[in-house]
Chain A
Amino acid sequence: MTMELQLGLALPNNITEGFDLNSRGSEPLSHVGSCLASESGIREYNSKKRSFDEAFVPQTLALLVWNKQPNEEDEGHSELDKNSSTISKSDGDDDGIVGWPPIKTPRRKLCHQNCGGFSGGNFDDGGPRPRGSKSTYVKVKMEGVAIARKVDVNLHHSYQSLRDTLDDMFGRGLKNVKAYKLTYQDGEGDWLLAGDVPWR
């Protein structure tokens, strides 16, 4: 049973409700669509190198919609990766050129987990959990950023700790990540500023 919580990061004068998964997220797919058409056609012997266009393969997008146990998506990934013996171009690779970047499969899976945003792990194995409560994953979107992250709030004991983690996750390269405010949407759909209510 997971709580459905959504957090949002936004600049102070701009607390809006609908964070759009802007078109950056969907662009690669349509781009790939047209490339696939040319791929299945006649190979171009004239071009010197396989350009990025030709080399791209369909992504198996890990969708950000989640309301299941965290590791379900995980298994989806590994099933796809460990697939059939006859390789088609989409086998084993999920974000672009086959064989690039040169990262081993176990690490690649980890990168995708990170993209999905697991900052902790799954807690379904009966191991001890902090404070004995079930894991709680929340989706965090930042204004202006296409890709959301997931964070397990149970790994944190205070707003500050959560905030530090989010700053690290979203703040790379940003000059003033601290200016962003953290908001959340409660069960009734109201957006509240994080920090008003005690952590527990």
Chain B
Amino acid sequence: MNYFPEEVLEHVFDFLKSHRDRNAVSLVCKSWYRVERFSRERVFIGNCYAINPDRLIERFPRLRSLTLKGKPHFADFNLVPHDWGGFVYPWIDAMAKRGVNLEELRLKRMVVSDEGLELLSRSFVNFKSLILVSCEGFTTDGLAAIASNCRFLRELDLQENEVEDHRGQWLSCFPDSCTSLVSLNFACLKGEVNLAALERLMARSCNLRSLKLNHAVPLDTLQKILAQAPQLVDLGTGSFVSDPDSETFRRLRTAIQKCASIKSLSGFLEVAPCCLPAIYPICLNLTTLNLSYAQGIHGSELIKLIRHCGKLQRLWILDCIGDKGLGVVASTCKELQELRVFPSDLHGDGHAAVTEEGLVAISAGCPKLHSLLYFCQQMTNAALITVAKNCPNFTRFRLCIINPTIPDPVTMQPLDEGFGAIVQSCKGLRRLSLSGLLTDQVFLYIGMYAEQLEMLSVAFAGDSDKGMLCVLNGCKKLKKLEIMDSPFGNLALLTDVGKYETMRSLWMSSCEVTLGGCKTLAKKMPRLNVEIINEGDQMEATPDDDRQKVEKMYLYRSLVGARRDAPDFVWTL
């Protein structure tokens, strides 16, 4: 048997960046497990309730970077009550107490409190990077603590969080000695910022690469910042409104022209269309463009802008671009890899902004496309079949037809064949979201062909338990399954209970599973947490009536049993 000194093993493991690879090597044998755990610095935890802080720190004492995810994905769409859980405080507390040298914390869908941020800012002297995505529970006071106390802060990245804005002076809390900022994103904040403090902070942050402003930062300030930061790589504008004849605007144009490094552009939270030509010079270099919050830019202007963006790899846009605009994208952006088209108007008077035509055009013009999120009013099987043929490289395919049970408008058939073509053609598909009229047939296809599928989102689909069973049976790599408003019940839930230990989680809401079914599952599988979200006290009155349908069920594997922070309306069976 070959003998490798542990130092050599450790050195080899250093080259392993992905946590999946590291997880794999730790399973080889006890000595590899030991070497790996002492050398792992970055840990990813996909469900914060699958493990607890103490066991985490026990296993990985050299922890420096922690990524945690909390609430289930459907929480994004208001299906999960606010105080369901996902609190980060216990993690910060435990790491502080046990002397973890934390440098980076990345959280998604977690509840973060000001107390937690304060504790974080005081407990880890080398703390460098805070990234919060879709979190809530904190205010700008918490941000002030981070700004004040984290002496070596490099990154403060707030993405789509619900932050209570006290309109205070959090930006002013960065001390004059703080010059280490590389990335600052406060686009999601609703309130005012001290513009003078911002300008001074930017002036002394010579390492700044990424800056995303909120709507309260006017073009005048943007101009001043850009004049001092031509090295920016990633820019999110706040308000982009000015008189095009003004001196301010002229200065902005000059400043932008010097920003030769900008590869990623976003923002335009407020925009006067006549100001857009100022950014044309940098469009040529853009690889990422996110205009999905730019309600003020209408179709024709969007198209004019896109024509300048020949190197685009990632585009997030509103559907007011229209099918015609997507045609322009298809002919201009030959390097496109990721496209997201969001709805701009949910109350639309029925006029379709984008349809299957736009998607087909994109698939024909952009051979490198592998990631798609597409909101539209209608879709046809023929279009999906064409898309599948044109783009066999999809890894993520999320289609959202706004009316969720609509059939193919041409043939009046369900969309089973269209999605079937996608899963059959795209052998590397890892994530799929379905919509439109769908029968059990689509699940048959998914179970048969979607061999690499890890995450599946289902709404208003299927006819019977058979559908769900096909997926559970066929998709060997399934990690997350989330289902709403579909007729899957106890038979589907209970046929293969062992499956759920191979998955991260299962969400079912407004389906046919009953309380009895959930109880049975919980009993059979002690290492699963089967949680019922019981709103409106429907079940309080008759907790023993096992025939009641369960409105929302969320189950997940866990090494630490039922969580102790569940609110009253969450029952762990």
Contacts and interface: CB of A to CB of B under 8 A. Distances in A.
A128 B272 contact: no
A81 to B, nearest CB: 8
A139 to B, nearest CB: 15
A101 interface: yes
Interface size class of A (residues with CB under 8 A): 35 or more
B346 A111 contact: yes
Given A50-B510, A104-B76, A169-B298, A128 B345 contact: no
Interface stretch (B90-98, B235-243, B305-313, B471-479): B235-243
**Centre residue among A99, A110, A120 by max chain B CB count within 10 A:** A99
A136 interface: no
Contacts of B402: 101
**Centre residue among B74, B352, B463, B484 by max chain A CB count within 10 A:** B484
Interface stretch (B8-16, B139-147, B216-224, B516-524): B216-224
B269 A121 contact: yes
Interface in A123-149: 125, 127-131, 145-147
A55 interface: yes
Nearest to B373: A102
Interface string B544-559: 0000010000000000
A50 B342 contact: no
Contacts of A181: none
Interface size class of B (residues with CB under 8 A): 35 or more
A186 B304 CA distance: 35
**Centre residue among A43, A87, A89, A93 by max chain B CB count within 10 A:** A87
B78 A113 contact: no
A173 interface: yes
B78 A130 contact: no
B349 interface: yes
Interface string B351-394: 11100000000000000000000010000000000000000000
A85 B347 contact: no
Interface stretch (A10-18, A157-165, A188-196): A157-165
Nearest to A104: B76
A130 B271 CA distance: 11
Contacts of A164: 298, 300
Given A119-B296, A128-B248, A165-B273, A86 B535 contact: yes
| 3 A-B pairs with least C-beta separation | A173-B351, A121-B270, A168-B298
Given A105-B162, A115-B347, 8 more contacts: A49-B487, A50-B510, A85-B81, A102-B400, A107-B292, A121-B270, A127-B216, A168-B298
17 contacts: A45-B549, A97-B485, A100-B404, A100-B485, A101-B400, A102-B457, A103-B342, A114-B344, A119-B295, A119-B298, A120-B296, A128-B218, A128-B242, A155-B296, A168-B299, A172-B351, A172-B353
Interface of B: 74, 76-79, 81-83, 134, 160, 162, 188, 190, 192, 215-216, 218-220, 239, 241-244, 248, 269-274, 292-293, 295-296, 298-300, 320, 322, 342-353, 375, 400, 402, 404-405, 433, 457, 459-460, 463, 484-487, 509-510, 512, 535-536, 549, 567, 569
